[in-house]
Structure 1
Amino acid sequence: MQLLCFIILFLATFPPSSSSSLSFDFYTLSCPVVELTVKNTVRSASDVDPTIPGKLLRLLFHDCFVNGCDASVLLQGNATERSDPANQSLGGFSVIDSAKRVLEIFCPGTVSCADILALAARDAVEFTGGPNIQIPTGRKDGRISMAANVRPNIIDTSFTLDEMIKIFSAKGLSIDDLVTLSGAHTIGRSHCGSFNDRFKVDSNGNLTLIDLSLDRQYATQLMKMCPNNNNDRVTVNNDPSSPLQFDNAYFKILLAHKGLFQSDSALLNDERTKNRVVEFANSQDSFFERWSSSFLKLSSVGVKTGGEGEIRQSCSMSNT
């Protein structure tokens, strides 16, 4: 109770920051409890549901790649980003909403949903064994969310390397960032429909590999886990070896030709990216070091600051 009274008194003493750009101390005076609140919310949700970290990390990708890191993917309604079929399998929304509700009690009208999402994804990585990263805050929430903007801006699992490079480059991200951030697939699960075009099964159960870069034994395992009439509901681990641990196993899996998606295998099959895959497979420290840099860039893509956006009262709807 004494701590709660201190926090309320502290917040009443210092008004919200009026900074118009991202900074590492943006909420130091206006809401010093923000990072601890988000971290505790992510931890509590992940303890109940171990798939939460992967969902939060994917949610950030889908937000930042479409209209920048402005929490526009959180907005509900007809023809919003969230309503697009490509985003129907997204999860983790309730975690962001929970953190927002708590922060609205301690720091009303101060912390953006965009910042909460970026911090939650950062914490999801740390919670599952990844590096602890400091990221700046001060993002504003966008007011516009259009389903039509989703497909031209996100990576499809069947993309070639050139197609992925084009999307990443448009966001100010390099080929190295592409390889590094693909390491996010070391946690999380995916629906069968996102990869079962890499093989086909005839009426007798015989397997034919369409994508010959996929290990045949692994393809057989996937086939058994993905019955043809259940592809929209069944999910499998992105990383079959350590699915709940953020580590460099994803890159080891690529070397074994067991990348779940065609877009994963593309990283190994091209000289522009292969060496980095090998490097990360051999050194988790190297991957973590590079991840810290690339994640910082990702979480800063197209951010809105100052008067460019708003601080939503609810993450699922605009204030106006």
Structure 2
Amino acid sequence: MESKISIFLPTSNLCNLLVLVFFCFAACPSLGRLSFNFYATSCPAAELMVSNTVRAASSNDPTISGKLLRLLFHDCFVEGCDASVLLQGNGTERSDPANTSLGGFSVIDSAKRVLEIFCPGTVSCADIIALAARDAVAIAGGPAFQIPTGRKDGRISNSANVRPNIVDTSFTMDEMIKLFNSKGLSLDDLVTLSGAHTIGLAHCSAFSDRFQQDSKGKLRLVDTSLDITYAKELIRKCPAGGSSTSNTVSNDPETSFAFDNQYYGNLLAHKGLFQSDSILLEDGRTRKQVEEFANNEERFFRSWGESFLKLTTIEVKTDNEGEIRRSCSFTN
């Protein structure tokens, strides 16, 4: 297996590179089942085709990066990184109400169509999702790095598996830790991967539990951990009686479409959109890491590369455990 990896390392040297590769193999048991440059012979331009597709889509719609990143999370946390979230049909993951607000499907489908023309039956939809999310981060200004490929597409997609395996925005810290640990992710990974909220949009219903409607029909803040000025802005954008399912706000009110460390600065300013964001500052187990990332973007980017690698290797399927779908929406 090739172990060559090029990851964002602003102060990198050979020693740092070897340490990171060792970390990847030690922390990601599934990594040994994948390989870097997996398509070097079978489809040399595969990653370039995915990257170009994501870049073209992002230039037309700046929200695409956040959608692709969220799509990856919802795929990998349920049945592992196997593109099961893409399958259409009654009772599939995609049909569950928790996934109806997902986006980015058209970008994955576009990349798949191109790949099927030049390399038919070669590149899995699972790899396309992982590569597209990786590229989406880089295109939005985040770190660029290499990830292993060779995932196969799963054949099982069950809506009943969705709710028990994704983070609810009202989760307590212990609930989040338990779920992340079940996926092989640590407390550090939890704080790091929460940084995905530096881009993307959220529906008003996702944080409505932080407000309450008074006797006059107006919303009032009940979560005192939220900055009052920010809370008033959220109420303005998500008024009582408005459509909480269609109205959206940016996860990051400061640099909405830039993948940076502003998310952690927002947490320090008590401007975390979700309760599951704010709790990272309130809990003594995670506050220090929030402060470190807020003050050092390079530190966040380095940690992101490590945690993202672990995320994209959760319960991967290889060899005969899966297939290479001809269409990402349906099994063969």
Deviation, 1:207, is 4.7
CA displacement 1:160-189 (0-9 Å, x = unmatched): 110000100000000000000000000000
Q: Is 1:47–2:59 an aligned residue pair?
A: yes
Q: Which runs of 5+ in 1 are unaligned?
A: 1-19
Is the counterpart of residue 28 in structure 1 residue 29 in structure 2? Answer: no
- Which of 183, 190, 193 lines up with 1:171 in the alignment? 183
Aligned-pair distance for 1:196?
A: 1.5
Equivalent position to 1:233, from 226, 246, 251: 246
State the partner residue of 2:25: none
Deviation of 1:110 after TM superposition, in Å, equals 0.4
| 1:69-114 C-alpha deviation (Å, 9 max, x unpaired) | 0000000000000000000000000000000000001110000000
- The answer on whether the counterparts of 1:53 and 1:188 sit within 8 Å (CA) in structure 2 is yes
Aligned residue for 2:280? 267
Following TM superposition, by how much is the alpha carbon of 1:208 offset from its aligned partner in structure 2, in angstroms?
A: 2.9
> 2:103 — aligned with what?
91
Structure 1 position 221 matched with structure 2 position 233? yes
Counterpart of 2:92 (choices 80, 96, 112) is: 80
Q: Give CA deviations for 1:46-80 in whole Å, capped at 9, x if unaligned.
A: 01111000000000000000000000000000000
Partner of 1:134: 146
CA distance in 2 between counterparts of 1:166 and 1:252 reads: 26
| CA distance in structure 2 between the aligned counterparts of 1:260 and 1:268, rounded to whole angstroms | 12
Query: Unaligned 5+ residue runs, structure 2?
Result: 1-31
Shift of residue 209, structure 1, vs aligned partner: 2.2
Q: Which runs of 4+ in 1 moved over 2 A?
A: 201-209
Percent identical among aligned pairs is 70
Asked if 1:110 corresponds to 2:122, the answer is yes
How many equivalent residue pairs? 300
Specify the code of the residue in structure 2 equivalent to 1:39: S
2:263: which partner in 1?
250
TM-score normalised by L of structure 2? 0.89
What letter matches 1:301 in structure 2? I
Equivalent residue for 2:4? none
Matched letter for residue 129 of structure 1: G
Q: TM-score, normalised by structure 1?
A: 0.92
Deviation of the 1:206 alpha carbon: 5.2
Distance across 1 between alignment mates of 2:178 and 2:142: 28
Match of 2:155 among 143, 147, 167: 143
Mapped pair 1:276 → 2:278: no
Q: Confirm or deny: 8 A CA contact 1:39 1:123 kept in the other structure.
A: yes
Deviations 1:210-235 (A, max 9, x none): 21111111111101101233111100
1:191: which partner in 2?
203
In 1, the alpha carbon distance for the partners of 2:115 and 2:218 equals 55
